[in-house]
Amino acid sequence: MNARIGGMGWVTPLGCGISEVWQKLLAGEKATLQSITGPQPEQSFAIFRVPAEATKSAPAHPRLRRSSAISRFAAVAGLDALADAGIQLDAASAKRTAIIFAISNGGVIYTKRFYHDIVASGAQAASPLLFPETVFNAPASHLAAILGITGASYTLVGDGAVGLLAMKMAEDLLLDPALDRCLVVAAEEADGLLCDAYLRWRLPITLSEGAGAVLLDRTGSISIDAIDAGGNFSHQSRAAHCIRTIFLRLEASSDDLFITSANGSFIDRAEAASISAFAPRAHTYPIKSALGESVGASALWQVICAVQALKTRRLPGTQEFRARRAVVLACGLNQQAAGLALAR
């Protein structure tokens, strides 16, 4: 049996909650740009930030006392996804639940602070309180502790495609009858250091932050038709070839709608060329135009958008559509690409 989407949670610069964010997107709202300082004097960047009130529902758990913003975003999104599925975990059901966490840049704010102290003042200034929070799997560990999960917990790292690679892993884990569900969570935080890095890398994107959570089980209303874990393109010029291979394997066509990963970089051209070749009449929606590029969290945001489109039969900027399938394409900035097809 195909894995299905049982519940979702969403923390974005447009707010928190599936319904709230979706209604704003349908109304054509876009997140508001905010200024952030860069790592060098008088340097500033414009990014999309999660409003403080969006994480007010974060649990008052000791693990979140000193944690990064990522962990708080993830806790809110993860708990919302379980609530959306009507699940309250107890010791028995937690044993039958796995977590997969997708992340790209990780706890960059704490990592920067920790390393800055070393550079500025030497190793003796390094904080033993900060270091553990710089580890990629710290947010997954906090979420597992909050939920009481004692079995499988994985953190996957990668670029903008990592969310779909995590979905693939969840689908594979659900082959194990000892598991009932897999909570896939992706989260990212934005910082001026990242803005500087992407700019120097000549990737003109608008950074964003937040989290997405998707609960995979065997009973939800939207099924995963196929996940293609894709592959790696050794050069940006090969991205379109990689995307076409994914479309071929997903049997993508104009009958599908597409939630794309266009973000103002080389990805836009590669995606546009591939979609015009495979599905020239399809409805497409580049969600990053409204929410920004949240890197590790972005593919799950796309999945949530695709599920909402299929459920509500609406898509921002589109009056109506008849598609019964939605294709999510995640092409990352660092040479990974993957695709996923959802069916109503």
Partner 1 sequence: MPEPQTPERHARRVAIVGAGVVSPLGPGWVETAEALRSGRDCISEITAFSVEDCRCKTAGQVPDEWLNGESGPRARRLHRVSRMMIAALREALAQAPDFKPELTVVGTTSGGMSFGEEYYRALQRGGSLRHSPSLIANYTPQKAVMDAQDALGISAPCQVIANACASGTNAIGHAFHCVRSGKYRRVLTGGYDAISELVFVGFDSLRASTPEKCRPFDRSRSGMVLGEGAAVLALENLTDAEARGANILGEIVGYGISTDNHHLTQPDPSGSGARRAMEAALTSAKISADEIDYINAHGTATPFNDAAEGKAIAELFLRTPISSTKAMMGHSLGAAGAIEAVISLIALREEFLPPNINFRESDAELDLNIVANQSRPEKIRTILSNSFGFGGTNASIILRAFET
Residues contributing to the site for partner 1 (CB under 8 A):
39-40, 63, 103-104, 111-112, 114-116, 118-120, 122-124, 126-128, 131-138, 140-142, 144-145, 148-159, 165, 168-169, 172-173, 175-176, 193, 196-198, 200-202, 229-232, 234, 334-336, 338
| Token digits of residue 129 | 């309180």
Shortest distance, position 65 Cβ to partner 1, whole Å: 11
Shortest distance, position 160 Cβ to partner 1, whole Å: 12
- Pick the closer one to partner 1 by CB: 26 or 135: 135
* 154-171 burial code (b ≥16 CB/10 A, e <16): bbbebbbbbbbbbbbbbb
- Pick the closer one to partner 1 by CB: 27 or 129: 129
Shortest distance, position 300 Cβ to partner 1, whole Å: 15
Q: What does the angle CA 20 – CA 25 – CA 31 come to, to the nearest 5 degrees?
A: 90
Instruction: HSE, CB side, 13 Å, CA atoms: give it for residue 22.
Output: 21
Residues 76 and 54: beta-carbon distance below 8 Å: yes
Shortest distance, position 163 Cβ to partner 1, whole Å: 12
| Token digits of residue 306 | 């695709």
| Spatial separation of the C-alpha atoms in residues 68 and 83, rounded to whole Å | 23
Shortest distance, position 153 Cβ to partner 1, whole Å: 5
- The SS3 assignment for 312 reads helix
| Spatial separation of the C-alpha atoms in residues 86 and 329, rounded to whole Å | 29
Shortest distance, position 125 Cβ to partner 1, whole Å: 8
| Token digits of residue 65 | 């006392």
- Pick the closer one to partner 1 by CB: 84 or 188: 188
Shortest distance, position 141 Cβ to partner 1, whole Å: 3
- Pick the closer one to partner 1 by CB: 7 or 158: 158
- Pick the closer one to partner 1 by CB: 181 or 283: 181
- Pick the closer one to partner 1 by CB: 173 or 326: 173
Instruction: HSE, CB side, 13 Å, CA atoms: give it for residue 68.
Output: 33
Residues 171 and 216: beta-carbon distance below 8 Å: yes
- Pick the closer one to partner 1 by CB: 31 or 102: 102
Q: Exposed/middle/buried for 219, CB within 10 Å: 0-12, 13-18, 19+?
A: exposed
Radius of gyration of the chain measured on its C-alpha atoms? 19
Q: Which position has the token pair 């209303």?
A: 221
- Pick the closer one to partner 1 by CB: 114 or 285: 114
Alpha carbon distances (Å) from 193 to 47, 66, 178, 196, 320: 12, 21, 43, 5, 41
Shortest distance, position 284 Cβ to partner 1, whole Å: 24
